[in-house]
Structure 1
Amino acid sequence: MTPRSILAVTDFSAHGDNALSRAAQLCAEHGAPLKLIYLAYPGEPPPPNAGCRLAHHALQLGQRHGIRVHSVNQIAFTLEDILPAARCADLLVWGTAPAGGIRSLFRGQPMEGMLRKCPRPVLVVREPANGPYRSMLVAVDFSEASRGLIELGFALSKDAQVELFHAISTANEGKLRYAEVSEQAIKAYREECQRYAQDRMFWLTDSYDARRNRVLSAIRHGSPARQVAVQQQRSGADLIVVGKHPSSAAVDFLFESVAKGVLRHSTSDVLVVPHGYRAVSSTRATDRLAAEFRRGRRVRAGAPQVPGRP
């Protein structure tokens, strides 16, 4: 899915400046318009000239990259203020400084809340945008959603080297040891998991090598989130692409998702893709067809009109 419209969120911090630069580069690369929105830091009033500063950023980015840039005049104080614009964009580029204090301990980071609520891919920017992404690491679990992650990674940066990565969780091995299963049986279980992962990885890489000869692959054992971060440091990838299942704030607080763990352990940019997402264009087309179908059913369900007598 090539992004046709991009929304960038900033708080005027260094993270926000990096996000604006990255969003502008992506818009110039894909010929997409860019919309900017300012999010106030939690618990603090926004600067009085926030609107003027945002408009100035829009003017500079438009002139520097030769793109169409529009700034939202209304200041966003909550995540709900951003969601309407986010639902109309193919990609949300996020750039805010981490929130501190007791408030963030119980409510979490604004970025985490946006990942739960936003139905679009979210690009969390940490590093300065010094050019297009040169290499990316795509975390796969061999489900059908993995294909969507790979396709989105290819579309986002066509010239980047792509490495598919899968981490075999060792949690089940711990359960087997707790149940006093023999080490020989545990070793056989590990080898079977390794064979399965290698077969599925070959299935994924083989389907893309025909179109692209820069697809690499790697398999490791351990915590998926930690292993993804370690592999990113080994490969020096500029971007990590990871999927995310729907979850609530309580579930995220009690059970850390892989996407949240990757964001916590890694230092590179991370593209978080919600499972089952659809591009804005396809979503609007589906909604339009559904509306036309409902209208057609209402017409056909009515009683036939009896023609009046002359």
Structure 2
Amino acid sequence: MTPHSILAVTDFSTHGDNALSRAAQLCAEHGAPLKLIYLAYPGEPPPPDAGCRLAHHALQLGQRHGIRVDSVARIALTLEDILPAARSADLLVWGTAPVRGIRSLFQGQPMESMLRKCRRPVLVVREPAQGPYRSMVVAVDFSEASRGLIELGFALSKDAQVELFHAISMANEGKLRYAEVSEQAIKAYREECHRYARDRMFWLTDSYDARRNRVLSAIRHGSPARQVAVQQQRSGADLVVVGKHPSSAAVDFLFESVAKGVLRHSTSDVLVVPHGYQAASGARATDRLEAQFRRGRRVRAGGVGFSQARAEWRD
């Protein structure tokens, strides 16, 4: 999915400046319009000149990159203030300083809440934009969602070197040892897991090699989040693409997801993609189609029903 509209979130910190630069560069690459919005640090009032500073950033970025840039006049004090603009964008570029202390422990980071509320891909920017992304690591688990991650990575940076990465969790081996299973059986189980992962990885890379010069791949054993971060640092990739399963705030608090772990351990930019997300352009078209049917359009007997029409439109 090529992003047709991008929303950059900033708090005027260094993270925010990096996010604005990266968002503008992506818009220049893809010919997409850019919208800027300011989000205040939780519990702190925004600067009195926030609106003027945001408009100044919009003017500068538009002139520097030759793109259309607008700023949201209303200052966002909470995530709810961002939601209308976020739901109209295909991609959110996130540039706010991490929340520290007790608040972050129990409430998590604002970006994590935005993923749950908005379900749009979020690009968390850490590094200054020195040009288009040169290389990326895409974390795959061989589910159907993995294809969506790869496609989005390809679309975001067409010329970047792509490496597909899978980490085989050691959690089941620990359960086997707790059950006093023999080391020989555990070794056989590990080899079977690696064989399965190798076969699936070959299937994935082979299906994409025809579209690019070469798609790299790697398989490791260990904690998926930590191994993804290690692989990113080993390869020098400047972007990690990782999926995020739907979950509640309570589940995220009790069990760290792979995406959250990658954000915590990696040093590069991270693109977090909610499973089952829909592009804003597609969502708006679907809403218009539904509205037409709700206004009373009747399909003659034997005609195409709404569910079939919607499926055909998506295809």
Q: Same fold (TM over 0.5)?
A: yes
Q: Deviations over 1:175-216 (max 9, x none)?
A: 000011111111110000001000000110000001112310
* Unaligned runs of at least 5 residues, structure 2: 302-315
Residues 289-308 of structure 1: matches in 2 within 5 Å?
289-296=289-296
1:80 aligned onto 2:77: no
TM (normalized to structure 2)? 0.93
* Unaligned runs of at least 5 residues, structure 1: 302-310
1:258 corresponding residue in structure 2: 258
1:306 corresponding residue in structure 2: none
Q: Tell me how many residue pairs correspond in the alignment.
A: 301
Secondary structure, counterpart of 2:219 in structure 1: strand
2:223 corresponding residue in structure 1: 223
Cα distance in 2 for residues equivalent to 1:299 and 1:259: 44
1:20 corresponding residue in structure 2: 20
1:194 corresponding residue in structure 2: 194
Cα distance in 2 for residues equivalent to 1:72 and 1:292: 30
Cα distance in 2 for residues equivalent to 1:245 and 1:299: 37
Cα distance in 2 for residues equivalent to 1:140 and 1:169: 13
**Which amino acid in the other structure matches residue 84 of structure 1?**
P
1:128 CA displacement: 0.4
**Which amino acid in the other structure matches residue 31 of structure 2?**
G
1:110 CA displacement: 1.3
1:98 corresponding residue in structure 2: 98
| Largest Rg, 1 or 2 | 1
Cα distance in 2 for residues equivalent to 1:138 and 1:187: 28
Percent identity between matched residues is 92
Residues 168-247 of structure 1: matches in 2 within 5 Å?
168-247=168-247
**Which amino acid in the other structure matches residue 216 of structure 2?**
L
**Which amino acid in the other structure matches residue 30 of structure 1?**
H
1:101 CA displacement: 2.8
Secondary structure, counterpart of 2:36 in structure 1: strand
1:22 CA displacement: 0.1
Residues 282-293 of structure 1: matches in 2 within 5 Å?
282-293=282-293
Cα distance in 2 for residues equivalent to 1:195 and 1:245: 25
1:35 corresponding residue in structure 2: 35
1:291 CA displacement: 2.8
**Which amino acid in the other structure matches residue 8 of structure 1?**
A
TM (normalized to structure 1)? 0.94
RMSD value, Cα? 1.3
Cα distance in 2 for residues equivalent to 1:100 and 1:233: 25
Secondary structure, counterpart of 1:237 in structure 2: coil
1:100 CA displacement: 1.9
Cα distance in 2 for residues equivalent to 1:144 and 1:107: 30
1:275 corresponding residue in structure 2: 275
Cα distance in 1 for residues equivalent to 2:185 and 2:247: 35
**Which amino acid in the other structure matches residue 242 of structure 1?**
V
**Which amino acid in the other structure matches residue 55 of structure 1?**
A
**Which amino acid in the other structure matches residue 45 of structure 1?**
P
Q: Deviations over 1:41-85 (max 9, x none)?
A: 111111000000000000000000000000001000111111111
Cα distance in 2 for residues equivalent to 1:214 and 1:178: 42
1:10 corresponding residue in structure 2: 10
Secondary structure, counterpart of 2:116 in structure 1: helix
Cα distance in 2 for residues equivalent to 1:263 and 1:232: 12
Secondary structure, counterpart of 2:231 in structure 1: helix
